[in-house]
């Protein structure tokens, strides 16, 4: 447990010893002076009048000598004290942490230059005042309460404080240590405070936590993708057998064949299952692709009519296609799948009327941008953005939306594979997908695909 700060007893003993040495030296000198000077006067002068004058002169000489001795000793003492104080002030003011000292009533006794930034005032204007003279009552009450807790505990107490520096207006997080100080007799003389700026450390810890969570999510999605791919392949093989045998059973059967409707139901269900299998393979990045050099603006323009019918008349579909857009290398079918699934997802998030915006733009990812994104690569990209004015999602839902079979829709309204497929397609094309959403504020998906100037041979 941290201890309080106390003026060391040895310091008091040392001061007393020094004072006693001076007193003893003065007493010895005075005694010798009186004894020797009186004898010398008696031996040298016998006239009473001359003896009186010599005694007066002897007294003035004694005063002058003792004054000179006291001057020298006091001067040395003051210089030593001043040097120690100068060294201490230099040390305190050189410390980047905020350092301050208050008396037991909360009145400031001193502070360093780093602390001056908190109140935006020099030390001379801070000394003799309290927190209530510089900050609002709520924060001042908090500071005073922490002082009292440190005094009551009789030991160092640690707490975190979020404050705004009056000098710059910057909000910082301080890790504060407050320690009661006592003199050599154990009497409380004040509270020493040291505040360390941990704003950057707090930000880095938060960023590391976020990146670790993203990495874990990416690793989980990779494992799920491998599992889904293996299951999809086996499932696809079995579907092939079902479809082939159902087709053979239907071959040559008349329309009024009694079992025809049952066989058609088998075919319909098997084909639907085959569609789900293709989505699983897309999520697992194992579907065969035929990448081509595409202009997203042109591809979107070709699909405008289809996409307009897809969202329905109650939802306004806006287009914001940037001129001079770069090209991407991607399978056109995959682009259709991404657009269709994202638009359907946006439409389902809107209850009643609303708006969806489809936008394109050129974007360059820097190393700093990629540091905040898992699996992102620096360089020029083309961004496809789809925003809606729907219900939005809470952060815990955003973290899971790309998981296969996870859906926020009601029963029978979704398979939970649409966004999983989009995620797989984007990753298969070396891209990155970002999601911004909040309850009641809609959702925006940003698909970043590497920009290319010519087909890769």
DSSP result, 111-174: E-HHHHHHHTS-HHHHTT--GGGTS-HHHHHHHHHHHHHHHHHTS-EEEEEEEE-TTT--EEEE
What tokens appear for 365 in the block?
A: 């990812």
Q: Report whether 444 contacts 435 (CB < 8 A).
A: yes
What pLDDT does 20 receive? 75
Residue 174: CA atoms inside 13 Å, Cβ hemisphere, count? 22
* Pairwise CA distance, residues 283 & 402, whole Å: 9
Q: Where are the beta strands (DSSP E) in 232-353?
A: 292-294, 315-321, 328-330
CA distances from 299 to 143, 277, 325, 332, 433 (A): 62, 26, 12, 8, 19
* Pairwise CA distance, residues 421 & 429, whole Å: 12
The residue with tokens 């293996």 is 230
Displacement of CA 189 from its chain's centroid (Å):
38
Q: Report whether 449 contacts 426 (CB < 8 A).
A: yes
* Pairwise CA distance, residues 445 & 387, whole Å: 6
What tokens appear for 363 in the block?
A: 């974007």
Q: Which residues contact 393 (CB under 8 A, 6 or more apart)?
A: 401, 408, 437, 438, 439, 443
pTM over 0.85: no
What pLDDT does 338 receive? 87
* Pairwise CA distance, residues 286 & 123, whole Å: 69
CA distances from 201 to 24, 99, 207, 210, 250 (A): 58, 20, 10, 14, 70
3-state secondary structure of 105: coil
What pLDDT does 163 receive? 87
Q: Report whether 437 contacts 334 (CB < 8 A).
A: no
* Pairwise CA distance, residues 275 & 279, whole Å: 6
One-character DSSP codes across 27-59: HHHHHHHHHHHHHHHHHH---HHHHHHHHHHHH
What pLDDT does 456 receive? 46
* Pairwise CA distance, residues 109 & 123, whole Å: 9
Beta carbons within 10 angstroms of residue 415's beta carbon: 17
Kindly report the CA angle at 115 between 113 and 118, in degrees rounded to 5? 125
Q: Report whether 120 contacts 111 (CB < 8 A).
A: no
* Pairwise CA distance, residues 169 & 257, whole Å: 84
What pLDDT does 295 receive? 92
Helix, strand, coil percentages in the chain from 3-state DSSP, rounded to 5: 55, 20, 25
What pLDDT does 1 receive? 41
The residue with tokens 């695909």 is 449
Q: Which residues contact 261 (CB under 8 A, 6 or more apart)?
A: none
Residue 176: CA atoms inside 13 Å, Cβ hemisphere, count? 22
CA distances from 235 to 111, 275, 403 (A): 74, 12, 19
Query: One digit per residue, pLDDT tens: the chain, 457 residues?
Result: 445 445 444 455 556 666 677 777 777 777 776 777 766 766 766 677 776 777 777 777 777 877 787 787 778 777 777 677 777 677 777 778 888 899 999 999 988 888 888 888 898 899 999 999 998 899 899 999 999 999 888 888 888 888 888 888 888 888 999 989 888 778 888 899 988 888 888 888 877 777 676 666 666 656 555 655 666 666 666 777 777 777 777 777 777 777 777 777 787 777 766 666 665 555 555 555 678 899 999 988 888 887 888 788 888 999 999 999 999 998 887 888 888 889 888 888 888 889 999 999 999 988 877 776 766 788 899 999 999 998 888 888 887 887 766 676 655 555 566 787 788 888 888 888 889 998 988 999 999 999 997 654 4
What pLDDT does 224 receive? 59
One-character DSSP codes across 61-96: HHHHHHHHHHHHHHHHHHHHHHHHHHHHHHHHHH-S
Strands 5-6 and 171-182: parallel
């Amino acid at each position: 447990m941290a201890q309080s700060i106390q003026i060391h007893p040895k310091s008091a003993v040392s001061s007393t010893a020094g004072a006693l040495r001076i007193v003893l030296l003065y007493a010895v000198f005075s005694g010798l002076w009186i004894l020797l000077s009186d004898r010398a006067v008696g031996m040298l002068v016998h006239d009473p009048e001359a003896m009186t004058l010599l005694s007066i002169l002897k007294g003035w000489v004694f005063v002058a000598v003792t004054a000179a001795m006291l001057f020298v000793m006091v001067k040395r003492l003051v210089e030593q004290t001043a040097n120690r104080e100068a060294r201490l002030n230099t040390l305190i003011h050189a410390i980047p942490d905020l350092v301050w000292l208050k008396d037991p009533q909360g009145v400031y006794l001193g502070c360093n230059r780093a602390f001056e930034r908190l109140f935006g005032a020099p030390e001379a204007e801070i000394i003799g005042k309290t927190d209530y003279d510089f900050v609002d009552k709520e924060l001042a009450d908090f500071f005073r309460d922490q002082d009292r807790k440190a005094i009551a505990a009789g030991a160092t107490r640690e707490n975190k404080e979020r404050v705004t520096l009056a000098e710059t207006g910057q909000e910082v997080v301080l890790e504060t240590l407050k320690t009661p100080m006592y003199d050599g007799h154990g009497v409380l003389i004040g509270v020493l405070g040291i505040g360390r700026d941990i704003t950057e450390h707090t930000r880095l810890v938060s960023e590391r936590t976020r990146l670790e969570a993203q990495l874990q999510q990416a690793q989980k999605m990779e494992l799920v993708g491998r599992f889904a791919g293996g299951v999809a392949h086996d499932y696809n093989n079995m579907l092939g057998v079902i479809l082939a045998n159902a087709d053979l059973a239907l071959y040559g059967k008349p329309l009024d064949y009694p079992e025809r409707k049952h066989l058609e139901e088998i075919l319909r269900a098997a084909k639907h299952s085959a569609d789900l299998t293709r989505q699983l393979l897309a999520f697992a990045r194992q579907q065969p692709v035929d990448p081509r050099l595409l202009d997203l603006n042109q591809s979107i323009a070709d699909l405008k009519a289809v996409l307009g019918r897809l969202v329905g008349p109650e939802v306004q579909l806006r287009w914001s296609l940037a001129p001079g857009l770069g090209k991407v290398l991607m399978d056109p079918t995959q682009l259709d799948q991404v657009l269709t699934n994202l638009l359907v997802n946006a439409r389902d998030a809107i209850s009643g009327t609303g708006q969806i915006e489809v936008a394109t733009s050129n974007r360059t990812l820097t190393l700093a941008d990629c540091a905040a994104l898992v699996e992102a690569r620096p360089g020029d990209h083309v961004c496809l953005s789809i925003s809606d004015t729907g219900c939005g999602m809470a952060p815990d839902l955003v973290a899971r939306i790309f998981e296969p079979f996870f859906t926020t829709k009601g029963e029978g309204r979704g398979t939970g594979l649409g966004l999983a497929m989009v995620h797989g397609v984007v990753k298969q094309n070396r891209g990155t997908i970002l999601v911004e959403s909040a309850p009641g504020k809609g959702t925006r998906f940003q698909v970043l695909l590497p920009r290319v100037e010519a087909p890769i041979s």
